[in-house]
Amino acid sequence: MQVLDGKALAETIKDELKAEVDAIRQAAGKIPHLAAVLVGEDPASQVYVRNKVRACEQVGFRSSLVRRPATITQTELLDVVRELNEDPDVDGFIVQLPLPGHLDEEAVNLAIDPRKDVDGFTPDNVGRMTLGLDCYLPATPNGIMIMLERYGVETSGKEVVVLGRSNIVGTPMTILLSRKANPGNATVTICHSRTKDVAAHCRRADILVAAIGIPEMVTADMVKEGAVIIDVGINRVEDSSRSRGYRLAGDVDYAGVKDKVSAITPVPGGVGPMTIVSLMMNTLQASKAK
């Protein structure tokens, strides 16, 4: 069984990005600048943003963090987005989700300039992705595609099952894996809360992408012998034996399936680091486009 180590692969790619940024600096070119907007004090969001800022420092990007209180109004947040859209020095930016309940995430997303949408969430980039045109791909799905390519996981002609239909992971994964490309050319089934007999679908999968947000939902009896498992989930599970009172678990029962599969991503240290690397690759692309 091969562990698809996203943390190690992300470090390799960050070294590649750093070499490219060093060359840009020596040529007196523009250093890529990524900004992040963080609203409120959500602990998970703070960790994600902190990791992104740290990764920028590692490769020599400029980074900015725009913090606003959870009480910010919709108009005030849209003003922040407008300012970042108009700032010529900012190549790309993200608005960290989730936002407080009183804010309209869709309206915020629609307000982002597609040329700076390094998360790949705006309709312009999603539409271009669907048509196979140049665009900023959604960070997590693109990170998974890079992982499949770098680890030599064959996708052409394979049966792929994606658990979850979110606009952030599930739906774009089905598009990327089914289109005529490498990785790609797979036959893809998407499962969700209304799917009948999810286990039967999973057992057909040569490659299973779990992004459904239910801790350890995928058990050994749901997995085909020799399958490749991409576990996108990261869930806090209460655990009194841990000093912090919880442990992190994926959507797949790692301990239960590891001896049955040919390859699997760990949680943490699998898909998460690749998401950040993909975000940085998009930012470099945005900087070059200028």
Q: Which of 91, 119, 231, 251 is catalytic?
A: 119
CATH number, domain 28-113, options 3.40.50.10860, 3.40.140.10, 3.30.200.20, 3.30.420.40: 3.40.50.10860
Q: Which of 52, 116, 158, 224 is catalytic?
A: 52
Beta-sheet pairing, 235-238 with 246-249: antiparallel
The domains spanning 28-113 and 139-272 adopt the same CATH topology:
yes
Question: Which residues, at least 6 apart from 194, have a Cβ–Cβ distance to it below 8 Å?
Answer: none
**Which helix (H) or strand (E) element contains residue 146?**
helix 139-150
Measured over all CA atoms, what is the biggest interatomic distance in the chain, rounded to whole angstroms?
58
**DSSP secondary structure string for all residues of 166-180:** -TTTHHHHHHHHHSS
166 is in an annotated binding site: yes
Q: Which of 91, 96, 224, 251 is catalytic?
A: 96
Known catalytic membership, residue 14: no
Distance CA 180, CA 167 (A): 21
Question: Which residues, at least 6 apart from 218, have a Cβ–Cβ distance to it below 8 Å?
Answer: 163, 202, 208, 210, 229, 231, 251, 252, 253, 257
Distance CA 223, CA 230 (A): 12
Burial category of 269 from C-beta neighbours within 10 Å (exposed 0-12, middle 13-18, buried 19 and up): middle
Closest CA to 73 of 45, 39, 98, 106: 39
Collapsing DSSP states into helix, strand and coil, what is residue 272? Answer: helix
- Per residue of the chain (290 residues), give pLDDT as tens: 999 999 999 999 999 999 999 999 999 999 999 999 999 988 888 888 889 989 999 999 999 999 999 999 999 999 999 999 999 999 999 999 999 999 999 999 999 999 999 999 999 999 999 999 999 999 999 999 999 999 999 999 999 999 999 999 999 999 999 999 999 999 999 999 999 999 999 999 999 999 999 999 999 999 999 999 999 998 888 888 888 888 889 999 999 999 999 999 999 999 999 999 999 999 999 999 87
Known catalytic membership, residue 2: no
Question: What does the buried/exposed string (b/e) look like for 145-163 if buried means 16 or more CB atoms within 10 Å of the residue's CB?
Answer: bbbbeebebebeebbbbbb
What kind of fold does domain 139-272 have according to CATH? Rossmann fold (3.40.50)
**Which helix (H) or strand (E) element contains residue 114?**
none
Known catalytic membership, residue 30: no
64 is in an annotated binding site: no
Distance CA 61, CA 282 (A): 12
Domains of the chain, residue spans: 28-113, 139-272
